[in-house]
Chain A
Amino acid sequence: MSPHKTVRTHEMGDTLVVSVGGYLNSLLGEEVEKVVRAELEGGGRRILLNFGGTRLVNSIGISFVIGIVEKVMEREGRMAFCEVSRINRDLFQVTGLAKYVRSFETEKEALDYLSGNA
């Protein structure tokens, strides 16, 4: 329920896992975008957004996620989501995000998919 922005990242193989915690609003969205942009500029092409810690989302936050997806697609990268709550899944569906990016229950499943094992 906290409106704070927490973005944590860690590398798993050549995938950058970005954990989005708290309230996904414009501030946090921007933060996530920054992290992903840096990764793309540094040559990284596999991005996993983990929404396990995301408590609240608003439409501006979602628009940032859409922007991120567009950027990754532009650079021909691969992307996945994991641990998306039911309500957020619905929101991703409504905004069309779900058409472009697959969601997985667990981080491991998503990582397997990104590394081509699934």
Chain B
Amino acid sequence: MGAEASFREDEFFGREEELHALTRAALEGGRGIGSSFMIYGPPNIGKTSLLLKLAHVLRTSTGEGLPRPFPLYFSFSQILSHPLALSQHFLQEFLLQLLRFLGEAQPSAFNPAAMCDRLASFGVTGCREVLAAHERCTAEGDGLSALVNALSFPFSASGDLFYPVFLFDDFQYTGKLQGVPDGAMLSILRPYIKSGHFPMFLSGSSPGRVTASLKREGLFGTFQMIEVAGLSADSSIRLWGHLCERRRVEIPASLLPRASERLGGIPVYQRMLVEEIFFRNAKVPDAITLENLYALAVTEGKLNRYWREFFENTFPDRSRRGRAIRFLKRVLCDRFPLDTVEGAISLMGVSQEEGEEILSALEFKGLLKADLEQLSFVGDPVLADFLYWAFERGVLGKGTSQVAAAIVQAQLSHGSPEPGQGADHARRVAIVKELMRKWDLREVPLLLFDFGKFREKFGGKGLLEVVIGMEHEAMRVRLPKVSSVSTGYRASRGGPRFDFDLVAYGFLEGDFSEENLVIWAVDAAVEKNLGARAVEHFENRCRLLALEKGLPHDRLRKWMLINETADPAAVDLAEQYGIHMSHPTQVRLFLNLFGLEELEREPEPSRSGGAPAPRAGKPLEYELVLPMKADSEVVAARVAEEVAAFAAVDADTVDRIKMAIIEACINAFEHSASESGKVRLRYLLSPDKIELFVQDDGRGFRTGKAAEESKKNRGWGLKLIRELVDDVEIITGPDGTVVRMVKYLEAGPGKPATAKETGGPASPGER
């Protein structure tokens, strides 16, 4: 009863859509058209709260007539793995919850016989018979029959008075029952699920397992899947408000969006962090303090304890726990590109058997999803920080405060674009990725990979000469058949990076076999002039990779792409280490061989370094499609803010643009009878103006609703827009309505660009 007891109705925020869908499905059960749901998501994301909230909503639903939905919440995690114990517990829970549902305030929970009698007085008969049958099964030690007996009972007991709605929590545990075949539970429930009269909500952190069982039972199509993730920003912030108020902790509202994002919108973390701040009696005036408190919580406080206990429970064996943590750290923190079971096991460096056990335990607890041998891992920012701490502490032996400082620093510098993450780099990486996919055992001149020799031979020659020269190259190399290429991420922790821009898995011959496996690690240099240090660092990472994958040295190919030039020392070092190195010209030739073209380098504006805006170039265009949904206009405003930042306009103008776009969006949401439910926005940034287009596919303006709204002082929208921007045009055509707004930027950057003065101080009381 742990989760049930700690559930606080008043702390439940958000998840309106999920609740709505689930409530509807449950109520439709009364009419025999209810559907069932599989609710899944990482551990402690709030699945249980969702179920309990649903139970509450159903209990208090005042549906017309009878029967009423009776929400029966049951968690499988609390029970011993013996089916007799489970069925006993289930029966008891059922009787207890049903009595409460029927209005008995304090049923005698430990006396099933008495509960049966009470139920009979409510018109629910046959309970004693079921108990007797259950006792017989127990005496015979027939677990499966006992389970059938217990689980079928609610269905036979229901009638004109109520119908059961099952809220089965931690359903993955049903696969762990002793002596009961996997999926037996679903076999028992199958006819009821199929009937449509008994909506069933299964929740669990291990969707792979449960969906496999559902598929085996032919039930998969009957279930709708709901993935529970972190709360929306809005709900998360409301929860902050509630928690802070309860604990009288003050966090400035301006920090909350960031704090929410920091914790992945996960309610349990928010609760813990607020508790942490409360118990430390700390004041939180600014972002730095908040980051510090968070880092403390994750390195020695509540968040740390939470995950430590989690891993201790999941992996009681210390050394296995260490391996699992080290493995997860590589995947979640260092973003080691990984999506197969084989890859995972080789990264762990353990036996097949142990590797599978670790993965299975992680899956059971919901830290990874396995689907058709494809792995995907949870994206939990707090877990990532915890793993970072565990690794730095346990493996590198750093002190807690050192790790906390690193976490704070990484967070504070987070968001500033890292060098090399620019669009140009991404484009270079993407095109090489495409190239590698096309290799397919073809032979190419070795010179394409050898910058030193290439320069020696063709330095200073024209491109045509080079192309002809390459055709006559006798030294050729056979490329592998590449089966997959993963794009790496640059580690964002400020420290040295662990991964590569690209890691390709390929085979030397056509056959996909262990002996033929070859891995290509590729880095596209960011620095204009590639230095020896970068080569050294690349080599180190390659060695680490080879070690982790257990690859013989000739099965790991190393390839660096020069950005513009390379130091002679770097070229020498690369040769010494056996690193392939290619100059942009070589890459271009390479791409030509495979019918690919290098994309033109566009001088993309970057926000760092003063952004010389598009003042000298052609207009920059941005597009955004918004759902017609409450508050999504805020996204449009946010984008407008970012776009305006490129033009270095003053804050007041940015505000005006934001407000104008908000009004235009709201107008589109409210007045257009749109079919697609979407609004399309275009932001056009030219040297002298910002043009905004808000387009919906509605047919003109709907008058009915607008007239009703205008009673409430509505109808300012267009008036405000005209006030906020310099030009407004509304074009209604067969395809919808477009509002075009223009704000001129006649003043230079940094100066106020407002074209219009609204005249005089706003009110007599000012200044």
Write the residues of chain B forming the contact surface with A, with a CB cutoff of 8 angstroms: 233-234, 237-238, 241, 253-254, 256-257, 630-631, 633-634, 637-638, 641, 652, 655-656, 658-659, 662-663, 666, 712-714, 716-717, 719-720, 723, 758-759, 762-767
Contact = CB atoms under 8 A, between A and B. Distances in A.
A51 B197 CA distance: 52
Interface string A73-115: 0000000110011110111111100100111110001100100
B765 A102 contact: yes
Contacts of B765: 80, 102-104, 109-110, 113
Given A4-B233, A101-B763, A103-B763, A23 B631 contact: yes
Given A56-B659, A87-B652, A105-B767, A4 B234 contact: yes
5 contacts: A4-B234, A53-B254, A59-B663, A84-B762, A95-B716
Contact of A1 (B638, B666, B720): B638
A62 to B, nearest CB: 7
B758 A56 contact: no
Contact of A4 (B237, B630, B767): B237
Contacts of A101: 763
A2 interface: yes
Contacts of A105: 766-767
A63 interface: yes
B252 to A, nearest CB: 9
Given A56-B662, A59-B666, A85-B655, A98 B762 contact: yes
Given A1-B638, A84-B762, A58 B633 contact: yes
Contact of B658 (A56, A59, A81, A86): A56
Contacts of B666: 58-60
A46 interface: no
Contact of A93 (B233, B652, B762): B762
Nearest to B652: A86
B238 A4 contact: yes
Contact of B631 (A3, A89, A103): A3
A58 to B, nearest CB: 5
Contact of A90 (B637, B758, B767): B758
Contact of A57 (B256, B659, B762, B764): B659
**Interface extent on A, as a size class?**
35 or more
B663 A6 contact: no
Contacts of B238: 4-5
Nearest to A2: B257
B764 to A, nearest CB: 6
Nearest to B634: A3
A67 B712 contact: yes
B681 to A, nearest CB: 16
A90 B233 contact: no
A39 B716 CA distance: 28
Contacts of A22: 237, 253
Contact of B655 (A21, A25, A63, A87): A87
Top 3 closest pairs, chain A to chain B, by CB: A102-B765, A89-B762, A4-B237
A57 B662 CA distance: 9
B637 to A, nearest CB: 6
A94 B758 contact: yes
A72 interface: no
A104 B766 contact: yes
A48 to B, nearest CB: 12
B687 to A, nearest CB: 24
Contacts of B256: 2, 4
B714 A102 contact: no
Contact of A94 (B633, B652, B714, B723): B723
Contacts of A60: 666, 714
A66 interface: yes
Nearest to A69: B713
B637 A56 contact: yes
Contacts of A25: 630-631
Nearest to B663: A59
B644 to A, nearest CB: 13
A89 B257 contact: no
A87 B268 CA distance: 38
A91 B717 CA distance: 11
A26 to B, nearest CB: 8
A104 B662 CA distance: 26
Contacts of B719: 94
A31 B712 CA distance: 16
Contacts of B233: 2-4
B652 to A, nearest CB: 6
A37 to B, nearest CB: 15
A69 to B, nearest CB: 10
A34 to B, nearest CB: 15
B603 to A, nearest CB: 29
Contacts of A23: 631, 634
Contacts of A27: 630
B720 A91 contact: yes
Nearest to B641: A1
A32 B422 CA distance: 44
Nearest to B659: A87
Contacts of A95: 716, 720
A86 to B, nearest CB: 6
A2 B762 contact: no
A7 B666 CA distance: 22
Given A6-B241, A86-B655, A63 B714 contact: yes
Contacts of A93: 758-759, 762-763
A3 B764 CA distance: 31
B662 A90 contact: no
A66 B658 CA distance: 22
Contact of B763 (A57, A87, A102): A102
Contacts of A98: 762-763
Contacts of A104: 765-766
A59 B717 contact: yes
A84 B254 CA distance: 17
A63 B719 CA distance: 13
Interface in A1-40: 1-6, 21-23, 25, 27
A67 B637 CA distance: 26
Nearest to B256: A2
Nearest to B638: A1
B230 to A, nearest CB: 15
A62 B666 CA distance: 13
Contacts of A5: 238
A63 B716 contact: yes
A25 B717 CA distance: 13
B658 to A, nearest CB: 7
Given A23-B634, A92-B762, A66 B655 contact: no
Nearest to A29: B712
B237 A2 contact: yes
A53 B765 CA distance: 20
Given A59-B717, A101-B763, 17 more contacts: A2-B233, A2-B237, A3-B634, A4-B234, A4-B241, A23-B631, A56-B637, A56-B662, A58-B633, A58-B662, A60-B714, A85-B655, A86-B652, A89-B762, A91-B659, A93-B763, A102-B764
A91 B666 CA distance: 16
Contacts of B637: 1, 56
Nearest to A118: B765
Nearest to B718: A59
A22 B637 CA distance: 14
A105 to B, nearest CB: 7
